[in-house]
């Protein structure tokens, strides 16, 4: 499957690399095409790089690793119509909390921005270090990947991709539940800062330790 990533940061490299190893055709997109091509070369396994808009047009499934709605980083969003768009983002952390933000998930904002896309919330509750381990190790450890979305077929596509990289999919219901997955990520990140454990996952199962496969964490972002 052709899977395109908007952004070239930590999670894009980790998840994109894992999907490339699993045999998918992975494209990295960026406003800076040279940066995208450079990351693709680092990842290898046939990965390619281009601008965000060409990636949107070329790929069957898109993954946003940019903490903004698609219209903020695409010149035109019609390339997303009818396609699965995985939102793996969380808000900056740590930050001030405001009660009115909790029900307004980043995934739901993306769906409002591109109503023709099939937005699925997934992959926001694993640190990039989890994907240092290969698919078989993650599968054996029982690492879960939660999924929220309104389109059953789109969730099936995402579930298959998660299985390919070693995660056990857990259907978390409608996209309106995505805010709970984003709060869950805040809980995990609070635990991370308290313990230094980058490998804890939603069920508080530690992922196997492994050397970085797709580069070290950059800029210390969470």
Residues 175-187: tens digit of each pLDDT: 999 999 999 999 9
> Does residue 203 fall inside a structural domain?
no
Residue 176, pLDDT score: 97
> Does residue 162 fall inside a structural domain?
yes
User: 93: pLDDT confidence band, cut at 50, 70 and 90?
Assistant: confident
Whether residue 63 contacts residue 86, with contact meaning beta carbons closer than 8 Å, is answered with: yes
pLDDT in tens, 101-149: 878 899 999 999 999 999 999 999 999 999 999 999 999 999 999 999 9
pLDDT in tens, 154-197: 999 999 999 999 999 999 999 999 999 999 999 999 999 999 99
Q: How many domains does the chain have?
A: 1
Q: Which of 6, 5, 18 is nearest to 212 (CA)?
A: 18
84-87, strands of its sheet edge to edge: 48-51, 25-30, 2-6, 61-64, 84-87, 118-122, 144-149, 168-171
How far apart are alpha carbons 149 and 144 in whole angstroms? 17
Residue found by looking up tokens 């999907």 in the block: 19
Residue 129, pLDDT score: 96
User: 98: pLDDT confidence band, cut at 50, 70 and 90?
Assistant: confident
Q: Which of 142, 162, 159 is nearest to 151 (CA)?
A: 159
What's the rounded mean pLDDT across residues 209-222? Answer: 89
In this predicted structure, the answer to whether residue 35 has a pLDDT above a threshold of 90 is: yes
> Does residue 220 fall inside a structural domain?
no
Residue found by looking up tokens 């190790």 in the block: 137
Residue 194, pLDDT score: 93
Whether residue 117 contacts residue 83, with contact meaning beta carbons closer than 8 Å, is answered with: yes
**pTM (2 d.p.):** 0.96
CATH number at residue 114: 3.40.50.720
In this predicted structure, the answer to whether residue 99 has a pLDDT above a threshold of 80 is: no
User: 38: pLDDT confidence band, cut at 50, 70 and 90?
Assistant: very high
> Does residue 205 fall inside a structural domain?
no
> Does residue 210 fall inside a structural domain?
no
Question: Between these two residues, 15 and 103, which has the higher pLDDT value?
Answer: 15
> Does residue 218 fall inside a structural domain?
no
pLDDT in tens, 40-70: 999 999 999 999 999 999 999 999 999 999 9
Share the mean pLDDT of the chain.
96
User: 203: pLDDT confidence band, cut at 50, 70 and 90?
Assistant: confident
Range of the domain at 18: 2-195
Q: Residue 222 is encoded by which pair of tokens?
A: 């969470």
What's the rounded mean pLDDT across residues 193-212? Answer: 94
Distances (CA, A) of 168 to 24, 34, 50, 204: 18, 35, 31, 14
Q: Please return the burial class of 56, using the count of CB atoms within 10 Å of its CB with bins 0-12, 13-18 and 19+.
A: buried
SS3 label, residue 16: helix
Which positions ≥6 away from 176 have C-beta within 8 Å?
108, 148
Q: Residue 119 is encoded by which pair of tokens?
A: 């937005």
């Amino acid at each position: 499957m052709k899977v395109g990533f908007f952004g070239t940061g930590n999670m894009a490299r980790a998840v994109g690399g894992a999907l490339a190893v699993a045999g998918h055709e992975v494209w990295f997109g960026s406003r800076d095409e040279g940066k995208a091509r450079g990351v693709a070369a680092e990842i290898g396994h046939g990965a390619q790089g281009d601008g965000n808009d060409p990636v949107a047009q070329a790929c069957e499934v898109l993954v946003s690793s940019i903490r903004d709605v698609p219209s903020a980083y695409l010149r035109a969003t019609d390339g997303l119509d009818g396609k699965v768009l995985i939102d793996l983002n969380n808000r900056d952390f740590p930050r001030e909390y405001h009660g009115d933000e909790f029900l307004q998930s980043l995934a739901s904002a993306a769906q409002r921005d591109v109503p023709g896309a099939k937005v699925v919330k997934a992959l926001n509750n694993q640190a990039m270090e989890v994907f240092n381990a290969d698919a078989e190790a993650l599968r054996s450890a029982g690492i879960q990947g939660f999924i929220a979305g309104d389109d059953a077929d789109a969730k099936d596509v995402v579930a298959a991709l998660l299985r390919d990289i070693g995660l056990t999919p857990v259907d978390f219901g409608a996209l309106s539940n995505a805010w709970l997955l984003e709060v869950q990520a805040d809980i995990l990140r609070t635990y991370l800062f308290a313990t230094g454990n980058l490998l804890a996952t939603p069920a508080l199962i530690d992922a196997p330790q492994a050397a970085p496969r797709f580069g070290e964490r950059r800029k210390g972002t969470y």
